[in-house]
């Protein structure tokens, strides 16, 4: 079927309306009528060519929420009319050790990204800035009642990206967690860590968003531009989640960790980072990374967010504002995620 979409025709060019073809619904496929698609910073990096050559035209969008319109005969998990979501991946081999463990995002054969990827049938994937998408049922999540669709869309990338390390490194009562950066990822990290029961501190460049940070669930807020922050908070945290995609002084942040503390990067700076190994061995600290999360964990995250009344803070826009929204994301002028009302695409 041919469906309306917004695509980047070439690297760095503005997105424009187009029509793309979606495959026929296969035995284990779900046809989703998309209602909302979040704008992730990765979308912008990809269409700007920051991450290398892409199979243009590219339809971005990997924070997708919609309603099931059709299911293949082998699908048992989803029914027509269900509210569902799709995140950053739409397929993986399903057979390797990582897939079998539920870490499909680390598939040894390479997971299939939701857009600008090559699907297992050889076709190029196109993302959620469109009215419909066809996805293998095993990669489609249930969106529980209790989360608004627009607020749910960013959970599919920003939500799981921050939930996964918070869960893995045990954010919870009695744990001191710091979140570096209060943007799309950071604001979700604060909400989720607070809901898990941790004592949450925001470490941001300035105090500009302090009021927001405290409202979202942080107890403390410090400016990293103030050198006193690093002496005051030395050795304090069990876990630091760094959501910033620019280079940081790794040693300075490691110095904020208690013994056995972990600094986890979910932000992906283009530059190499370096560190002094003494920053690790002096207090048995770890420096780690984490990328989105597996399908089962993503479902757990959605259920957790519904149970705790958590959604993203969003600004819903019409499709013809996508290019403006990209400019504003690059200028950090969004609190905290743009979501496209895909009804405006048609
Ligand atoms: Zn993303
Ligand atoms: Zn695999």
| Per-residue confidence in pLDDT tens, the chain, 346 aa | 999 999 999 999 999 999 999 999 999 999 999 999 999 999 999 999 988 999 999 999 999 999 999 999 999 999 999 999 999 999 999 999 999 999 999 999 999 999 999 998 899 999 999 999 999 999 999 999 999 999 999 999 999 999 999 999 999 999 999 999 999 999 999 999 999 999 999 999 999 999 999 999 999 999 999 999 999 999 999 999 999 988 999 999 999 999 999 999 999 888 899 999 999 999 999 999 999 999 999 999 999 999 999 999 999 999 999 999 999 999 999 999 999 999 999 7
Ligand 1 midpoint to CA 156 (Å): 8
Instruction: Find the 101 Cα to ligand 2 centroid distance in Å.
Output: 9
pLDDT digits (tens, 9 = 90+) for 267-305: 988 889 999 999 999 999 999 999 999 999 999 999 999
Domain shared by 90 and 145, yes or no: yes
Q: Find the 58 Cα to ligand 1 centroid distance in Å.
A: 15
153 and 195: one domain? no
| Euclidean distance between CA atoms 185 and 294, whole angstroms | 17
Report how far ligand 1's centroid is from the alpha carbon of 275 (Å).
27
Tokens found for residue 11 = 């690297």
Give the CA-trace dihedral at 249, 252, 258, 264, to 10 degrees.
-10
Please check whether residues 44 and 124 belong to one and the same domain. yes
Q: Report the number of distinct structural domains present in the chain.
A: 2
Same domain as 135, residue 10: yes
Report which bound ligand comes closest to the CA of 99.
Answer: 2
Q: Are residues 258 and 128 in the same domain?
A: no
Q: Does residue 306 form part of some domain?
A: no
60 and 113 co-located in one domain: yes
Task: Flag whether 305 is in a domain.
Answer: no
Q: Is residue 91 domain-shared with residue 185, that is, in the same domain?
A: no
Distance 298 CA to ligand 1 centre (A): 13
Closest CA to 64 of 5, 16, 146, 123: 5
Note the pLDDT tens digit of each residue in 197-226: 999 999 999 999 999 999 999 999 999 999
Ligand 2 mean position, distance from CA 87 (Å)? 17
**Global pTM exceeds 0.95:** yes
Rounded distance, CA 64 to CA 88, Å? 9
Of the listed ligands, the closest to the CA of 111 is: 2
Same domain, 150 and 190: no
CA distances from residue 256 to 154, 188, 201, 207, 275 in whole angstroms, order as listed: 29, 22, 12, 19, 14
Cα(119)–Cα(126) distance, integer angstroms: 10
Task: Say yes or no: 108 and 64 in one domain.
Answer: yes
Q: Which ligand is nearest to the CA of 61?
A: 1
Please check whether residue 118 lies inside any domain of the structure. Answer: yes
Same domain, 199 and 276: yes
Ligand 2 centroid to residue 109 C-alpha, Å: 5
| Residues 332, 258 share a domain | no
Q: Which domain holds residue 94?
A: 2-157+293-299+311-345
- 161 CA to centre of ligand 1 in angstroms: 8
Q: What is the CATH number of the domain that holds 226?
A: 3.40.50.720
Contact 65, 343 (CB under 8 A): no
Q: Which of the ligands is closest to the CA of residue 60?
A: 1
Nearest CA to 334 out of 158, 170, 134 is that of: 158
For residue 39, count other CB atoms closer than 10 A to its CB: 28
- Burial class of residue 10 (count of CB atoms within 10 Å of its CB; 0-12, 13-18, 19+): exposed
| 190 and 258 inside one domain | yes
Distance CA 2, CA 221 (A): 49
CA of residue 145 to ligand 1 center, whole Å: 23
Contact criterion met (CB below 8 Å) for 150 and 313: no
Last residue of a domain, one of 289, 321, 337: 289
- Residue 183 neighbours by CB under 8 Å, 6+ apart: 41, 243, 332, 336
């Amino acid at each position: 079927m041919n469906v309306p979409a917004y695509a980047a025709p070439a690297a760095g060019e503005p997105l424009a309306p187009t029509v793309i073809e979606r495959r026929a619904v296969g035995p284990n496929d779900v046809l989703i009528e998309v209602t909302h698609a979040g704008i992730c910073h990765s979308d912008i990096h990809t269409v700007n060519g920051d991450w290398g050559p892409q199979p243009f035209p590219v339809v971005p969008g990997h924070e997708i929420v919609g309603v099931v319109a059709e299911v293949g005969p082998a699908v048992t998990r989803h029914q027509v009319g269900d509210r569902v979501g799709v995140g950053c991946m739409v397929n993986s081999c399903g057979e390797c050790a990582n897939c079998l463990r539920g870490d499909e995002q680390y598939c040894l054969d390479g997971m299939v990204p939701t857009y600008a990827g090559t699907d297992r049938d050889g076709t190029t994937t196109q993302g959620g800035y469109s009215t419909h998408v066809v996805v293998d049922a095993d990669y489609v999540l249930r969106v529980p009642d209790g989360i608004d669709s627009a607020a749910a869309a960013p959970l599919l990338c920003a939500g799981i990206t921050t939930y996964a390390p918070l869960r893995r490194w045990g954010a919870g009562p009695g744990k001191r967690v710091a979140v570096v950066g209060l943007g799309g990822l950071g604001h979700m990290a604060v909400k989720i860590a607070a809901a898990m029961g941790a004592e949450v501190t925001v470490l941001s460049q300035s105090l500009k968003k302090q009021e927001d940070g405290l409202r979202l669930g942080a107890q403390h807020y410090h400016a990293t531009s103030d050198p006193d922050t690093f002496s005051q908070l030395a050795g304090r945290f069990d876990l630091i989640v760094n959501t910033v995609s620019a280079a940081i002084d790794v040693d300075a942040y490691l110095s904020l960790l208690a013994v056995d503390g972990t600094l986890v990067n979910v932000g992906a700076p283009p530059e190499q980072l370096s560190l002094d190994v003494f920053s690790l061995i002096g207090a048995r600290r770890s420096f780690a990374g984490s990328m989105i999360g597996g399908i089962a964990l993503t479902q757990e995250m959605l259920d957790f967010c519904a149970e705790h009344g958590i959604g993203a803070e969003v600004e819903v826009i019409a499709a013809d504002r996508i290019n403006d929204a990209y400019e504003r994301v690059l200028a950090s002028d969004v609190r905290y995620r743009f979501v496209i009302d895909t009804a405006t695409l048609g």
